[in-house]
């Protein structure tokens, strides 16, 4: 007997009725349709009136409607005032997420992507970093920023906070000072029951019992004692909990992971192209643990055939599994100094999915036919099994590229290294012709002692081996974006938009002051930036120009909508090459597999709406990981500088503000502040456009990228602040 297909009410008028019917047992009208109806009626409505309007009579669908309206209220689509629901866009209210500043004020980042709103310390009292709020626009402040007034807290986003516990003997109330400086308000801990066995000065985890209000501090309960503030590895433990990084595997994940062995089962090798005779190689850093990608290149006619083999994580991590849920929750591996929080359990990240040499590994291969001019003429994807021929390092490959081949052991691979380098040079020419922006960058490598403290800071300069692999990965990523876009498969694009109108105006004013011009009108392209950098190559202020250009650009994020990649000058770009450590890459692999196995006949099991939510969560997880690692490195550098008070160093001005100069020490990559009050030879005025401080009487100028000699005055590890003074 055929089952009757369930129907949603208003299926004739609700454009998303089929989507709702496919997702829910008792479907109700979509959010979009509810908002459309409220918009047409043009006035607030009660729950009863909305249910009648939507023709919902049975209790199950009314319950579903109540939940949906509550979710729409939480997401800033509706406002509920007593009994009535109304559209927020009709009330000139703005919903968004709160970003708190250590000094107590904050900003609301609107959901609709508009300009941030400034929130004063008074407005921030009931709010915490990460909360969702509804505000009204009250005007423009003296700095030209939009300013808002809190209307309602839509959602408190913080359940636990890490901080330092303070308690005076004999008192019934203790306080916790949050370690994350964005949480500027103290948490009150009332009564011994809530204080547990915590001792004064220890680092603890607090569960919030009630959020802050306009007049009262937040109340909490100590649920974990991490330890003494100076304990080994405490900085990382604090960062993990302060930024709410998932770091313990749920039991269902451990159960699923326990089923895997270190050897690929023979049955999984079936229906895959056997490429074990192709000498793929991995090229990574000396300390790398997981190997996502392997490459192989060979000449074909006047062009090249490039194969980029990426670990097939999608063969092991299935949608709907506990492994997948936790991978999505983490979204990215987090790389701290001396410790990694992986996105996947070690049996996958360091074993089955890691492309180790001389063992069978499952891959998805992107095969690109590249012509004489560096253009990708044909792209083919297929599921394969490979055996990496060698695990090479950037250092040893760089030596080969310099012509030092004597110490390179796998001699049989030398021709392939040369071929890869020839292709790299061709792709590099193509990159320059395309107009991609190239900023010179130098990185720091931290060397630790037995106590996990910094012993030495070394300079790491990118070599041609780094650039070679980067160019091969770029080719595979852009080919993948174009291939899936042509097939209209929903994926996460890696987008990078051009400068905002405000940042562009600031940049042009700065360039005008130093006799340079950025072409491109109101919408400059990457090639205009690249041309400007090319013209500035021989100028003594090149470092300054590069810094200002970099700061004018927006951050790259994930998006379900393709908006191109400004910096790389690609019309479409995605992440395909690191599914072991990035969830967006795993989603892209699933999209490729869907096309390969279904030939596009069946719809992909992710909708655009789902991808939009995943884009937001993956971008947020990436920012969270970056903030956590920056915090740990900053703390370690402060500890490193503690015994260097009074010492003098050369440095470069990397930031100019109204309250002073930020200076980065040469070869140490340690930053500190020269407060304006310590510049006692004159009164200095801040020129925001020129990014400089100018002496009122002397005319002396301090600006970005100026070299200065400083003395270390003070180091505060807890606040992660270092103070300098000019010598």
Q: Is the pLDDT of residue 15 over 90?
A: no
Please provide the CATH number assigned to the domain covering 17-89.
1.10.10.10
Residue 599 is predicted with a pLDDT of 63
Q: Which CATH architecture has domain 160-229?
A: Beta Barrel (2.40)
Q: Is the pLDDT of residue 470 over 80?
A: yes
Mean pLDDT of 344-362: 96
Both tokens assigned to 270: 């079936």
Q: Is the pLDDT of residue 440 over 90?
A: no
Q: Is the pLDDT of residue 10 over 60?
A: no
Q: What is the spatial distance between Cα 51 and Cα 229, in angstroms, rounded to a whole number?
A: 56
User: What is the percentage of the chain residues whose pLDDT exceeds 90?
Assistant: 62
| Cβ neighbours of residue 441 closer than 8 Å, sequence gap 6 or more | 462
Q: Is the pLDDT of residue 640 over 90?
A: yes
**Contact assessment for residue 256 and residue 321, using Cβ atoms and an 8 Å cutoff:** yes
Mean pLDDT of 241-264: 94
Query: Would you place residue 341 in the very low, low, confident or very high pLDDT band (cuts 50, 70, 90)?
Result: very high
Domain ranges in the chain are 17-89, 92-155, 160-229, 251-493+570-630, 645-726
Residue 167 is predicted with a pLDDT of 92
Query: Would you place residue 5 in the very low, low, confident or very high pLDDT band (cuts 50, 70, 90)?
Result: very low
CB neighbours of residue 481 within 10 Å: 24
| Cβ neighbours of residue 559 closer than 8 Å, sequence gap 6 or more | 492, 493, 495, 615
End-to-end Cα spacing for the chain: 89
Residue 600 is predicted with a pLDDT of 56
Q: Is the pLDDT of residue 275 over 50?
A: yes
Both tokens assigned to 188: 């009150």
Give the H/E segment covering residue 123.
Answer: helix 121-124
Q: What is the spatial distance between Cα 431 and Cα 527, in angstroms, rounded to a whole number?
A: 10
Residue 89 is predicted with a pLDDT of 65
Q: Per-residue pLDDT tens for 393-435? A: 999 999 999 999 988 989 999 999 999 999 999 999 999 899 8
Mark residue 135 as left, alpha or beta (left: phi above 0; alpha: psi -120 to 50; beta: remaining).
beta
Query: Would you place residue 7 in the very low, low, confident or very high pLDDT band (cuts 50, 70, 90)?
Result: very low
Q: What is the spatial distance between Cα 585 and Cα 594, in angstroms, rounded to a whole number?
A: 14
Mean pLDDT of 636-654: 93
Task: Name the most confidently modeled range: 232-236, 288-292, 620-624, 704-708.
Answer: 620-624
Q: Per-residue pLDDT tens for 591-616? A: 999 999 886 578 888 999 899 999 99
Phi and psi of 170, rounded to 5°? Answer: 90, -15
Mean pLDDT of 269-285: 95
The pTM for the full model equals 0.82
Query: Would you place residue 654 in the very low, low, confident or very high pLDDT band (cuts 50, 70, 90)?
Result: confident
Mean pLDDT of 567-592: 96
Instruction: Give the lowest-confidence range in 113-122, 311-320, 693-702.
Output: 113-122
DSSP 686-704: EETTTTEEEETTT--EEET
Q: What is the spatial distance between Cα 135 and Cα 93, in angstroms, rounded to a whole number?
A: 6
Residue 2 is predicted with a pLDDT of 43
Instruction: Give the lowest-confidence range in 83-97, 378-392, 525-539.
Output: 83-97
Instruction: Give the lowest-confidence range in 135-139, 177-181, 252-256, 328-332.
Output: 135-139
CB neighbours of residue 56 within 10 Å: 20
Query: Would you place residue 460 in the very low, low, confident or very high pLDDT band (cuts 50, 70, 90)?
Result: confident
Identify which of 487, 469, 542 has the alpha carbon closest to the alpha carbon of residue 295: 469
Please provide the CATH number assigned to the domain covering 92-155.
2.40.50.140
DSSP 462-527: --HHHHHHHHHHHHHHHHHHHHHHHTT----EEEB----HHHHHHHHHHHHHTT----STTS--HH
Both tokens assigned to 50: 């909305």
Residue 506 is predicted with a pLDDT of 86
Q: Per-residue pLDDT tens for 140-167? A: 776 677 888 898 888 898 999 999 999 9
Beta bridge partners of 37: none
Beta bridge partners of 385: 274, 362
Query: Would you place residue 297 in the very low, low, confident or very high pLDDT band (cuts 50, 70, 90)?
Result: very high
Mean pLDDT of 252-264: 95
Q: Average pLDDT of the chain?
A: 90
Local structure of residue 10 (DSSP, 8 states): T
Q: Is the pLDDT of residue 1 over 50?
A: no
Residue 112 is predicted with a pLDDT of 78
Phi and psi of 263, rounded to 5°? Answer: -105, 135
Q: What is the spatial distance between Cα 665 and Cα 653, in angstroms, rounded to a whole number?
A: 9
Identify which of 641, 647, 654, 652 has the alpha carbon closest to the alpha carbon of residue 715: 641
Mark residue 42 as left, alpha or beta (left: phi above 0; alpha: psi -120 to 50; beta: remaining).
left
Q: Which residue do the tokens 């009709």 mark?
A: 90
Q: What is the spatial distance between Cα 213 and Cα 204, in angstroms, rounded to a whole number?
A: 23
Query: Would you place residue 444 in the very low, low, confident or very high pLDDT band (cuts 50, 70, 90)?
Result: confident
Burial state string for 355-392 with b = 16 or more CB within 10 A and e = fewer than 16: bbbeeebbbbbbbbbbeeebebeebebebbbbbbbbbb
Exposure on the CB side of residue 487, measured as CA atoms within 13 A:
22
Residue 91 is predicted with a pLDDT of 58
Residue 92 is predicted with a pLDDT of 67
**Contact assessment for residue 253 and residue 238, using Cβ atoms and an 8 Å cutoff:** no
Residue 299 is predicted with a pLDDT of 95
Q: Per-residue pLDDT tens for 364-379? A: 999 999 999 999 999 9
State the fold for domain 645-726.
OB fold (Dihydrolipoamide Acetyltransferase, E2P) (2.40.50)
Q: Per-residue pLDDT tens for 546-573? A: 888 888 899 999 999 999 999 999 999 9
Identify which of 380, 373, 379, 378 has the alpha carbon closest to the alpha carbon of residue 303: 373
Q: What is the spatial distance between Cα 182 and Cα 622, in angstroms, rounded to a whole number?
A: 17
Query: Would you place residue 624 in the very low, low, confident or very high pLDDT band (cuts 50, 70, 90)?
Result: very high
Q: Per-residue pLDDT tens for 42-98? A: 788 889 899 988 888 888 888 889 889 988 887 777 878 777 888 876 556 788 999
Identify which of 673, 591, 658 has the alpha carbon closest to the alpha carbon of residue 142: 658
Q: Per-residue pLDDT tens for 688-726? A: 878 889 999 999 999 888 899 999 999 998 888 999 999
Domains 17-89 and 92-155 share a fold: no
Identify which of 82, 78, 83, 81 has the alpha carbon closest to the alpha carbon of residue 95: 78
């Amino acid at each position: 007997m055929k089952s009757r297909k369930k129907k949603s009410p208003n299926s004739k008028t609700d454009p998303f009725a089929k989507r709702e019917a496919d997702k829910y047992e008792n479907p109700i009208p979509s959010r979009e349709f509810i908002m459309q109806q409220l918009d047409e009626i043009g006035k607030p409505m009660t729950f009863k009136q909305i249910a009648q309007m939507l023709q919902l009579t049975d209790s199950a669908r009314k319950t579903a409607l109540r939940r949906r309206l509550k979710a729409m209220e939480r997401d800033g689509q509706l406002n509920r005032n007593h009994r009535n629901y109304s559209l927020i866009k009709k009330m000139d209210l703005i919903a968004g997420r709160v970003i708190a500043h250590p000094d107590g004020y904050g900003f609301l980042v609107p959901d609709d992507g508009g300009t941030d709103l400034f929130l004063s310390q008074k407005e921030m009292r009931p709010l915490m970093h990460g909360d969702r709020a509804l505000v009204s626009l009250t005007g423009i402040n003296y700095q030209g920023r939009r300013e808002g007034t809190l209307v309602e807290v839509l959602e408190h986003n913080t359940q636990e906070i890490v901080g330092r516990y303070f308690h005076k003997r004999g008192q019934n109330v203790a306080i916790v000072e949050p370690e994350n400086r964005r949480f500027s308000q103290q948490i009150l801990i009332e009564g011994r029951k809530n204080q547990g066995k915590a001792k004064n000065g220890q680092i603890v985890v607090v569960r919030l019992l009630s959020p802050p209000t306009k007049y009262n501090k937040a109340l909490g309960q100590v649920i974990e004692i991490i330890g003494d503030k100076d304990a080994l590895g405490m900085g990382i433990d604090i960062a993990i909990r302060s930024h709410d990084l998932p770091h313990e595997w749920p039991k269902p994940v451990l159960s699923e992971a326990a089923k895997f062995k270190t050897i690929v089962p023979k049955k999984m090798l079936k229906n895959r192209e056997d490429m074990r005779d192709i000498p793929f190689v991995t090229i990574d850093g000396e300390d790398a643990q997981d190997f996502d990608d392997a490459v192989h290149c060979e000449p074909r006619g006047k062009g090249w055939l490039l194969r980029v083999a990426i670990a097939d994580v999608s063969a092991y991590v299935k949608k709907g599994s506990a492994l997948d849920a936790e991978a999505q929750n983490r979204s990215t591996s987090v790389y701290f100094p001396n410790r990694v929080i992986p996105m996947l359990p070690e049996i996958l990240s360091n074993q089955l999915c890691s492309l180790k040499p001389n063992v069978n590994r499952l891959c998805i291969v992107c095969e690109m036919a590249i012509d004489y001019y560096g253009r990708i003429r044909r792209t083919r994807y297929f599921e394969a099994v490979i055996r990496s021929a060698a695990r090479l390092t950037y250092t040893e490959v760089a030596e080969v590229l310099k012509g030092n081949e004597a110490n390179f052991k796998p001699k049989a691979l030398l021709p392939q290294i040369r071929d890869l380098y020839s292709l790299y040079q061709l792709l590099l020419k193509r990159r320059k012709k395309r107009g991609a922006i190239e900023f010179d960058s130098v990185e720091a490598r931290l060397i630790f002692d037995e106590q996990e403290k910094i012993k030495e800071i070394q300079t790491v300069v990118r070599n041609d081996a780094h650039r070679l692999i980067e160019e091969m990965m770029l080719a595979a990523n852009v080919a993948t974006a174009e291939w899936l876009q042509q097939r209209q498969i929903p994926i996460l694009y890696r987008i990078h938009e051009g400068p905002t109108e405000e940042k562009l105006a600031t940049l042009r004013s700065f360039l005008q002051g130093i006799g340079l011009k950025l072409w491109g009108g109101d919408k400059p392209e990457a090639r205009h930036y690249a041309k400007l950098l090319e013209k500035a190559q021989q100028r003594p202020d090149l470092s300054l120009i590069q810094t200002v250009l970099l700061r004018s650009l927006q951050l790259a994020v994930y998006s379900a909508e393709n908006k191109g990649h400004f910096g790389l000058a690609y019309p479409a770009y995605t992440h395909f090459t690191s599914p072991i450590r990035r969830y967006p890459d795993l989603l892209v692999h699933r999209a490729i597999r869907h096309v390969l196995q279904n030939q596009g006949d069946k719809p992909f099991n992710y909708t655009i709406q789902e991808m939009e939510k995943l884009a937001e969560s993956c971008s947020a997880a990436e920012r969270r990981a970056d903030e956590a690692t920056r915090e740990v490195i900053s703390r370690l550098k402060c500890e490193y500088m503690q015994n260097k008070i009074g010492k003098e160093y050369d440095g470069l001005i990397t930031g100019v503000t109204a309250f002073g100069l930020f200076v980065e020490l040469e070869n140490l990559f340690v930053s500190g502040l020269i407060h304006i009050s310590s510049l006692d030879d004159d009164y200095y005025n801040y020129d925001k456009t020129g990014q400089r401080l100018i002496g009122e009487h002397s005319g002396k100028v301090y600006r970005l990228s100026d070299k200065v000699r400083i003395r270390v005055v003070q180091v505060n590890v807890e606040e992660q602040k270092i103070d300098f003074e000019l010598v």
